[in-house]
Amino acid sequence: MKLSRLWRKPSARLAAAALSIAVSQHVQAAWQTLGAGQLETPHNDLVELSTASGARVRLTLLDAGTARIRIAPNGVFGRDFSYAIATQPKPVPLSVEHDDRANTVTLRASGKESMRVVVTLKPSVRVDVYDSAGELFLADDPAREMVFDPVSGAVQVSKQRAATELYYGFGEKAMPMSRDQRFMTMWNSDTPAYLPGADPIYQSIPFFISLLHGKSYGVFFDNTYRSYFDMGATDPARYTFGAAGGELDYYVFTGGRERSAANVLRSYTALTGRGSLPPLWALGYQQSRYSYTPDSQVREVAKTFREKKIPADVIYLDIGYMEGYRIFTWSKKDFPEPEKLLADLKNEGFRAVTIVDPGVKVDDDYAVYRDGRQRGAFTRTAKGDEMHATVWPGLCAFPDFTSPDTRAWFGSLYEKFLDQGVAGFWNDMNEPGVFLNADSDEPPMQHDPKKTFPLSTRHFGDGDPGDHARYHNVYGMQMARATYEGLRKLRPDSRPLVLTRAGYAGIQRFSAVWTGDNDATWDHLAMTIPMLTNLSVSGVPFVGADVGGFVETPSAELYTRWLQAAALTPFFRTHSAIDTEPREPWSFGADYEKINRESIELRYRMLPYLYTAFAAEEMDGEPVMRPLWFDYPHDVKTYLREDEFLAGRDILVAPILHSGETKRRVYFPNGDAWIDWWSGKRYAGGQEKEIEAPLNRLPLFVRAGASVATQPVVQSTNEMANVPLTITVALGTDGTGTLYQDAGDGYAYRNGETRRSTFTLKGKTLHIETNGPSRFQKIAFVEFAGADAAPSSVTIDGKTTNDFHFDATTRRIRVAVSNNTKEIELH
């Protein structure tokens, strides 16, 4: 099924459902408008309004391009605390103008070029936002005023919408690239084998980036209750967002004077945090199954990877490794010597990652449960009893991860596994998901409300107690936080690998994210690009989807194409369900094994480039995997392109996403030329071309002018330190590229223990500037891609060299260099 057809049917159903939900909300809610506003005495860094309804409005600017609008329906602002915010920013001083005749209050950052927030006071409070050039880009809809329900606590605001305005982000949604005219719910849900268009699923990130005529802005609605976004589904003239409770608390990011998506994301991640640089081994290929059991099967998988010389770094242990599914235990029968197993794996270049669920079996003979109960670490019912529900171990209690004491306790439980040699941890079932009563005579529902905690369940809320309706969406994130902070404390000199299924805005500070229990279908393969790129522009850089689909068994062709498509995604893992056929790269026969090996080898060749992209993300928020529109906002043909993506800034990936295809149309973004990675053929930007793509070929292109670091194939990242680097330079236009290097683990890089190389191409001359110690991988070759003929001569730092070779098939000139080479010139 073509992706353009993929969304059609589910979207129609969802649109009808969205309309029904929106109507029912308006019918059931006793909506009340804010009414006229009255300016209170402004402070140096905030403006506060009282309103006729008793609600209060507070406005601040975090900088010249970021505003915060906060409405307390009951007139009392709660504590200024958010699980999403990395560090609470200090508002900047304001310049405030009160125009009595126009009934407006205007605020801007004092003494600098700034955005403007204009508040109309009568007949009801309305907020409009202008960029620093004076352009209105965000306006409350006067026909749909800000409202709240004093009985239920619901809040809602509507904004005017341009007909062609598109929206991206919203975290993890099984939806098309742009989420315009979609209705979305933020409520973390265990949704196995979700269909295209299914909503909600595992993650809730209420942040989006708008794109209209090449300009962007961003909105982050920081509300942990069940919330919703109607982005023109009910009425294309407006979009609406709101929540079942809490404050109407949202941030607006202008994206600087140029209103760029990159600046929006930079501001958003400055607020909510950026993903830390992962350990290098976590970027290698990862193999998983539910479940590799017993330990002999784990050993066999590891042995086969090495015998067949298929690179891999990580093997996962799903719930089958435990004793009766009790977390932090090993099955005495199936894993009698875990330390020896883990040591042997390490000797073969493998790290092990184990799954850890939140459910703690209610068992007085189980030390983790006894300790948690004694500490009062578990969530409570509304009556104050320990809340129990059934998951894999049977009846379970659940840590209250909104308590700092509980997070610290839970984090300490990882010590034994770390001591035994486990390298990383995988948090699952943390939406939180629980099992339904198997004997129930009620119809099965994908989003049955009983698949999670009762909404009346009590949480500590980091000192602000509340019910599960308020804290549901942050439960999984706080579990990942407990894991991450525990690992940082226990192993302060190692970078943690934490993987989570559920999260909220800011999850990138603690964990990688994968897209949950996907299905072994071509539809799900096609969905990975819009899902992962939208997660990426939601501030979550370390993302991936289970290769081959978790549920059901893929065909050999599907698995092979999926492995190709995923080879340059940030998180690269095959995973499969217990009732499916084997899903290792060699499982489909020798012909497919060869192709699958090459796909994984491509990943390892590109690791220096990918690692550099991760370093850039931590520094300035640039996503590692990104949609085409992100870098080409003035090319409207990129806006809805969801069958291609950029890996970093310089690599265009155009995988095959449909059965039986051996060629495809590739669109080359306008503004750059592109060089075919394999053939060296040049394609001008702004055009679509048909590209050959036999089963063993991933269509891959490098941006002209770019310089991309690669390496020879290694069997694990442990071998990288001793292999030389090649810098591939794409000829055709001037440009720059970078290489980032550090120890691959630990935090010395934050104290300057790094090496950064900059490559500047001018015509046919490459200038290399390097800063930092020389102990990292050495540059041994430079390859100029896209060359039409062999050069007559080559000079290195002004001296002629004969140590070069031209390959007419790939149109590459390979030049041997030293690690200290400063200039290479082709003649």
Which residue's entry shows tokens 């501030």?
539
Q: Which domain holds residue 746?
A: 724-826
Cα dihedral 533, 534, 540, 542, rounded to 10, equals: -30
The sign of the CA dihedral 791, 795, 801, 803 is negative
- Phi, psi (5° rounding) for residue 687? -135, 160
Query: What is the amino acid identity at position 343?
Result: A
**pLDDT reading at 25 higher than 90:** no
| Nearest residue to 413 (alpha-carbon basis) of 462, 376, 358, 364 | 358
Q: Which residues are catalytic?
A: 428, 431, 517
Which residue's entry shows tokens 């630990």?
746
Residue 774 lies in a domain: yes
Residue 6: per-residue pLDDT = 56
Instruction: Give the mean pLDDT of 545-561.
Output: 98
**pLDDT reading at 634 higher than 90:** yes
Of 41-50, 164-173, 360-369, 737-746, which gets the smallest average pLDDT?
41-50
**pLDDT reading at 457 higher than 70:** yes
Tokens representing 255 are 């994206």
CA distance 104 to 409: 52
- Where residue 809 sits, what CATH number does that domain have? 2.60.40.1180
CA distance 809 to 796: 25
CA distance 137 to 259: 10
CA distance 331 to 426: 18
Tokens representing 44 are 């140096």
The mean pLDDT of the chain is: 95
Residue 820 lies in a domain: yes
Contact 492, 418 (CB under 8 A): no
Residue 622 lies in a domain: no
Which residue's entry shows tokens 């900059």?
758
| Nearest residue to 170 (alpha-carbon basis) of 137, 210, 130, 138 | 210
Residue 543 lies in a domain: no
Residue 787: per-residue pLDDT = 98
Instruction: Give the mean pLDDT of 702-713.
Output: 98
For residue range 647-682, what is the model confidence (pLDDT) as tens digits? 999 999 999 999 999 999 999 999 999 999 999 999
For residue range 568-613, what is the model confidence (pLDDT) as tens digits? 999 999 999 999 999 999 999 999 999 999 999 999 999 999 999 9
Instruction: Give the mean pLDDT of 310-321.
Output: 98
Query: What is the amino acid identity at position 717?
Result: T
Domain count, the chain: 1
Residue 773 lies in a domain: yes
- Output 688 or 9, whichever has higher pLDDT: 688
The sign of the CA dihedral 265, 268, 270, 272 is negative
**pLDDT reading at 428 higher than 70:** yes
For residue 811, the Cα-to-chain-centroid distance in whole angstroms is 36
Residue 471: per-residue pLDDT = 98
Contact 348, 718 (CB under 8 A): no
| Nearest residue to 154 (alpha-carbon basis) of 36, 32, 53 | 32
Q: Residue 9: pLDDT band by 50, 70, 90 thresholds?
A: very low
Instruction: Give the mean pLDDT of 228-236.
Output: 98
Residue 334 lies in a domain: no
Residue 749 lies in a domain: yes
Q: Residue 30: pLDDT band by 50, 70, 90 thresholds?
A: confident
**pLDDT reading at 13 higher than 80:** no
Instruction: Give the mean pLDDT of 671-694.
Output: 98
Tokens representing 39 are 């300016």
Residue 437: per-residue pLDDT = 87
Tokens representing 229 are 């976004």
Q: Residue 17: pLDDT band by 50, 70, 90 thresholds?
A: very low
Q: Residue 392: pLDDT band by 50, 70, 90 thresholds?
A: very high
Residue 1: per-residue pLDDT = 36
Q: Residue 3: pLDDT band by 50, 70, 90 thresholds?
A: very low
Helix axes 404-412, 468-490, angle to 10 degrees: 40
Q: Across the beta sheet with 104-109, what order do the strands follow? A: 94-99, 104-109, 116-120, 126-130, 136-139
**pLDDT reading at 366 higher than 90:** yes
**pLDDT reading at 218 higher than 80:** yes
**pLDDT reading at 2 higher than 70:** no
| Nearest residue to 215 (alpha-carbon basis) of 181, 244, 250, 253 | 253
Residue 7: per-residue pLDDT = 52
Contact 203, 502 (CB under 8 A): yes
**pLDDT reading at 219 higher than 50:** yes
CA distance 244 to 148: 10
Residue 112: per-residue pLDDT = 86
Residue 443: per-residue pLDDT = 86
Residue 19: per-residue pLDDT = 41
H helices within 115-194, ranges in order? none
Give the CA angle between residues 134, 138, 142 to the nearest 5°: 115
H helices within 424-566, ranges in order? 468-490, 522-536, 556-566
Phi-psi bin for 522: left (phi > 0), alpha (psi -120 to 50), beta?
alpha
DSSP structure class, residue 205? -
**pLDDT reading at 320 higher than 60:** yes
For residue range 238-291, what is the model confidence (pLDDT) as tens digits? 999 999 999 999 999 999 999 999 999 999 999 999 999 999 999 999 999 999
Q: Under 8 Å CB-to-CB from 664, ≥6 apart: which residues?
A: 643, 654, 656, 690, 691, 693, 699
For residue range 104-135, what is the model confidence (pLDDT) as tens digits? 999 999 988 999 999 999 999 999 999 999 99
Residue 147: per-residue pLDDT = 97
For residue range 71-104, what is the model confidence (pLDDT) as tens digits? 999 999 999 999 999 998 999 999 999 999 999 9
Of 334-338, 697-701, 772-776, which gets the smallest average pLDDT?
772-776
Per cent of the chain over pLDDT 70 is: 96
Q: Under 8 Å CB-to-CB from 290, ≥6 apart: which residues?
A: 318, 319, 320, 550, 575, 576, 577, 578
Contact 59, 69 (CB under 8 A): yes
